[in-house]
Chain A
Amino acid sequence: MLRMLSLALMLCLMVPTTAAAQTLQDILQTHQDEVLKPGRRSVGVVLDDLVASGLPQALPFLEAWRDREIVQLGSDGLFYRAAEDGDAITLTDLDTGEVFTQVDDADLTETRPNGGVRRAIGDALVQFQLSDPDIAKRRTAVDAIARTMDASQRAPLIGSIDGETDPVLKEIKTRLAGMLGALFAETADARIVAINDLSGDLSVDVRGVLNTILATDAQVAATVPDGANVAQVLVVGTDLTPTEAYARLVVAELAPPLVTKSQIRDALVTNINGDEVGGIPVASLDTDAGRALAYDMLAGEGIAPPRVNETAQADAIAAHTFYLQYAEPNPAITDAARTALTDIETKVAMSQAVDLGLDALSLASIYFLAAIGLAITFGVMGVINMAHGEFIMMGAYTGFVVQQFVPDYTLSIIIALPLAFAITFGAGVTMERLVIRHLYHRPLETLLATFGISIALQQLAKNIFGTQARPLTSPEWLDGALVFNDVIAISYIRIAIFVLALIFLTLILFVLKRTRLGLEVRAVTQNPGMAASMGINPDRINMLTFGLGSGIAGIAGVAIGLYAKVTSEMGADYIVQSFMTVVVGGVGNVWGTLAGASLIGFLQKGIEWLNPSNTLAAQTYMILFIILFIQFRPKGIVALKGRAAAD
């Protein structure tokens, strides 16, 4: 860090480089290999020499180096700054700024500083960029400090706060200075004050600072030494198992190591004497007890170290104290940090619960969106449409195709949504007219026929678009996330899906409950014969209902494609889930679908939370739960009563 300070000093003073017979190029030539292929640990040498030179051109060089603009020309071995200019490449001399054009790019070797090196360069640049007029550079500098959290950066950072013009950045700098203060302030009191100021800040960085202060080492000793800042005395049996405890004693060389089974085996094998070991026949060594016996014989003869029996182990453990010791010697500081951290962690836990709730809500709305079309065709009309998933896929591919022709992402989504609806509406109506119409009284056969359509559509999609996943890029205003605090955040795309789900819920409720079409749909569903005699054309109604359900699947497809992926198999991923959503919620009722989607979404997140390392297990248990749930509530959560419930 010293080199940074001196570099800062030199460059700030801007001493006219009269004494410098040395140019930047000379330094780079001395470290040719390091400049060409720098490594994080070894790049320091180059940075040090650049410091010692005090050259003003070192600063732009470092920036260019970090941005991978530095090349080596094969013919003279010198380094230049390169910029592409159409087909040609212009090279700039690093010392003189002289510019010339190079056409043959085969003669150029690019320098490729990796992520770690770029970070090291960034650290070296921090000093100059903190007060740079360009706000982007100031931000980069602040980010670099936040990543490294080094003591040497504290003073320049504090120095730059007063001059900061941007209020947001000023706040970030102040906060960062507080964090550095908690770690590196000169006096214990100053650190405690800084630590107390951090209390209530949920960010990962702050928790990182406090955890660094609270870092502990596991220790073992006969008695706890005086003056040690002990975090916790461990109780053998509850905090750590006797085996672990003894292993720690062995590591600390406070007890003899245990003799393992493989060591016993090795000792026996090396000491085979004819067909005996230590007087025991080899044939009887096929049990652990037999081997132990033979080994004890060997140990008795002094050929092998004796085994440590269990009482000896227990005695050794009892004779020592196991404890965690803070790396920070001052108890006042660790106490303050502990208090601050406990406070933060409570809030973090609450926030995490809220965040999990948001994730569950978002998952529920995705399930809802995928299932709502099905709720209409299956729930209201009683038609099993196994090709529902493929309608979702068609919608997603519609979005993909539109993006091929309309490069503006916002516009393309605006076009894709109604277009997807139109296409899948058409597909749904066609399917209803050609196939489903003939099978209204044979629901199981509808299942088979639509399954046939499903695999045909899936394979068609593969033939047309290939098996590879296709990108469906969301518009820029949907990038990023809505951040409530450092724990609770939800991406805009998920919010959009949630809003879309809400819109469709309202729309469908409105159509079914408040419009002529809805009335006719409900009439046809309940009694087609009676409805027909009242002048309703059931054929037309069925066709429109089916088209509506399919069209919504298409729109769901665009939404799902935006947040995940577009593949020919994406429909199959959602079909079983969607059916379960509808069945669990209660068939024939839009509210039921909403309840079903919420139940499944929240349940899945809940199980994932219990077992975070295995998403697959969560899905398995969820399905088992659903199977059981249906056994006990076969009509679903929102069961229809009375006549409407009749099959």
Chain B
Amino acid sequence: MTFKTSAFALTALLGTTAMAAAECADPIKVGVLHSLSGTMAISETTLKDTVELLIENQNAAGGLLGCEIEAVVVDPASDWPLFAEKARELLTVSEVDVIFGSWTSVSRKSALPVLEELNGLMFYPVQYEGEESSRNVFYTGAAPNQQAIPATDYFLEELGVEKFALLGTDYVYPRTTNNILESYLQQKGIPAEDIFVNYTPFGHSDWATIVADVVALGADGKQVGVISTINGDANIGFYKELAAAGVSADDLPVVAFSVGEEELSGLDTSDLVGHLAAWNYFQSAESELNDEWIAAWKAKMGEDRVTNDPMEAHFIGFNMWVNAVTEAGTTDVDAVREAMYGQEFPNLTGGTAVMLPNHHLAKPVLIGEITADGQFDIVSQTTEVPGDAWTDYLPESAILTSDWQELGCGMYNTETETCVQLTSNY
């Protein structure tokens, strides 16, 4: 009898699968546009694996609209022009329904014209400098007001920092972020001469003079804090030099925007304990969802692997997309975009992320102190902060707003009440 029942169940199951297969001649295709070779491979390969894990999970849960989801993975090889070329290939040759991809701003800006020309849809998972809003991109990483501004507030409020050293690698994210911060700090009453700005090349290693300069900033008796947008490898030399100069986090706190769990796994963190980082996600966040996610990640990739902020951004972005497609009943880009607005999905850190009409998420901001085991001790967590495409702290941008749902414009001048442009500024 039991045999019969199970046989029946099996037939039923086979029947549904067959029906699902009949319903969709083609599987739903998800493009993955992350560098698997070249300088960015180390960061981006993790995100490719993340998307693949998310697709596996979704397929195990019955796929999407009754179809299997299939990943189309391409390798733009950290070569920025290739991002445009590969995006075009994904959209025209592979005909994918959505793309998850990019890390650096320049690679995103390389792919943008193609996405807008062919009306594609991309989810961009990394914290960035803002000042952009494309109809065809959903920004699931942090805008400056979701990372830089709260971290600066923490410095001002909690650590009583009165003098700021803004150290960054010389490229667009640090430049724009520091511009915003300079303007913000001056509005907060920090005089211009108490803000020290320095830019170094990628992979800079000679930090002795700069660290000495920063320490000397304390000569007028004010508490100094460092806001670091130093990227990648250069951080190693920087923290080593700080340690060699005998500067502890108590004397001279450093908050970094580009140092996460993945970056720390290449470092001996004993010298870094107490220094800070600001993100929307830390692996140490305590929630059941996070525990499940970490367990799934480690089961797929190995015990020693860590999770980080851009992975959570893809986690939220992918699930929102799945829900939006289900709601719209189609993968058609325009229909999905409409369905995306107001989508909600639980954060791994607790609370709920909401997709706003400006294509950014409302997410909580976390500040963590680095611990000796390469993780972060979360010392501050805000409520959900809505991402702002155009910063309020630069005069040219303060008058701009983005609202694709009501205004249908990503660069809307609120003073003249006109849409500056429909394409984004790349």
Contact = CB atoms under 8 A, between A and B. Distances in A.
Contacts of A356: 209
A116 B221 contact: no
A605 interface: yes
Contact of A569 (B39, B244, B265): B39
A115 B244 contact: no
A254 interface: no
A407 B369 CA distance: 27
Interface string B90-127: 00000000000000000000000000000000000000
B222 interface: yes
Interface in A97-144: 112-119, 143
B265 A468 contact: yes
A468 B266 contact: yes
A165 interface: no
Given A473-B268, A615-B199, A207 B233 contact: no
A39 B244 contact: no
Interface string A53-95: 0000000000000001000000000000000000000000000
B249 interface: yes
Contacts of B218: 204-205, 208
Chain B facing A: main interface SS: mixed
A485 to B, nearest CB: 13
A356 B210 CA distance: 11
B266 A209 contact: no
Interface in A466-493: 466-471, 473, 479-481, 487, 489-493
A378 B274 CA distance: 47
Given A116-B159, A569-B203, A481 B251 contact: no
Contact of A211 (B208, B220, B246, B253): B220
Interface string A351-394: 00001100100110010000000000000000000000000000
Contacts of B199: 613-616
A114 B208 contact: no
A324 B422 CA distance: 51
B237 A564 contact: yes
Interface in B24-83: 39, 41-42
Interface in B196-233: 196-201, 203-206, 208-210, 212-213, 215-216, 218-223, 232-233
A184 interface: no
B268 A471 contact: yes
A491 B241 CA distance: 8
Contact of B201 (A212, A473, A616): A616
B253 A115 contact: yes
B203 A573 contact: yes
Interface string B308-348: 00000000000000000000000000000000000000000
Nearest to B215: A204
A615 B266 contact: no
Interface in A131-177: 143, 147, 149
Given A39-B158, A204-B216, A468-B265, A363 B206 contact: yes
Contacts of A479: 243-244
B200 A615 contact: yes
B204 A115 contact: no
B245 interface: yes
A464 B241 CA distance: 28
Nearest to B236: A565
A520 interface: no
B266 A469 contact: yes
Contacts of B206: 363, 366
Given A149-B221, A467-B39, A619-B201, A115 B158 contact: yes
B221 A208 contact: yes
B267 interface: yes
Interface in A561-588: 563-565, 567, 569, 573
Contacts of B170: 614-616
Given A112-B377, A489-B212, A564 B205 contact: yes
Contacts of A39: 157-158
Interface string A438-465: 0000000000000000000000000000
Q: Which of B203, B210, B222 has the most CB of A within 10 A?
A: B203
Contact of A612 (B42, B198, B219, B237): B198
Contacts of B249: 115
Nearest to A608: B209
Interface string B352-374: 00000000000000010100000
Interface string B167-198: 00010000000000000000000000000111
A355 B213 CA distance: 11
B189 to A, nearest CB: 14
Contacts of A466: 42
A191 interface: no
Q: Which of B206, B245, B369 has the most CB of A within 10 A?
A: B206
Contacts of B303: none
Contacts of A355: 212
A143 B39 CA distance: 42
Contact of A207 (B205, B219, B243, B367): B219
A471 B209 contact: no
> What are the 5 closest A-B residue pairs judged by CB atoms, nearest first?
A208-B221, A564-B205, A491-B244, A211-B220, A114-B379
Interface of B: 39, 41-42, 154, 157-160, 170, 196-201, 203-206, 208-210, 212-213, 215-216, 218-223, 232-233, 236-237, 240-241, 243-246, 249-251, 253, 265-268, 274, 276, 367, 369, 377-380
30 contacts: A40-B158, A115-B274, A115-B369, A116-B158, A116-B159, A119-B159, A147-B223, A204-B216, A204-B218, A208-B219, A208-B221, A356-B209, A359-B209, A362-B208, A466-B42, A468-B42, A468-B265, A469-B267, A481-B244, A481-B246, A487-B216, A490-B208, A494-B208, A563-B237, A564-B236, A565-B233, A565-B236, A573-B203, A615-B199, A616-B200
Interface of A: 39-41, 68, 112-119, 143, 147, 149, 204-205, 207-209, 211-212, 355-356, 359, 362-363, 366, 466-471, 473, 479-481, 487, 489-494, 560, 563-565, 567, 569, 573, 605, 608-609, 612-616, 619
